Amino acid sequence: LVSNAIDAGDDEVLLAIAQKLKGFADLVGGKEQAACLLPILEKIICCVEEIVVAQAACDALVEIIPKLPQEVVEEKCMGMIRRILEGESRFLGSSQPLDTVK
């Protein structure tokens, strides 16, 4: 559904998905399973141009990440954040890798 909405450029659907996913951590099995929501939100953040949609996905991450076990945060979230930031630096035209930016 997310891939289809991104391919179709349907920001309204993506906004609704991002807003709803904010409350899904408990519905997908609590902290043990909430990490399954991360790739969906990452894809929304990385693929949309509409800032309102990306902000809704970020808001969902702010709700979900504190519910995750620390090892999941370290294993999955840190890489996701790096990929998002690297995508942003490419989008903004920076050729400098993130690990060299101070």
Burial bucket for residue 11 (CB in 10 Å: 0-12, 13-18, 19+): middle
Between the two ends of the chain, the Cα-to-Cα distance in Å is 38
pTM for this model (two decimals): 0.77
**Statement: residue 53 has pLDDT above 50:** yes
* Residue at 69: amino acid letter: P
Q: Provide the residue ranges of all domains of the chain, joining segments of one domain with +.
A: 2-100
Contact 14, 4 (CB under 8 A): no
Average pLDDT, the chain: 83
Query: DSSP code of 74?
Result: I
Closest CA to 42 of 3, 10, 7: 3
Per-residue pLDDT band for 85 (boundaries 50, 70, 90) equals confident
Q: What integer is the mean pLDDT of 40-55?
A: 91
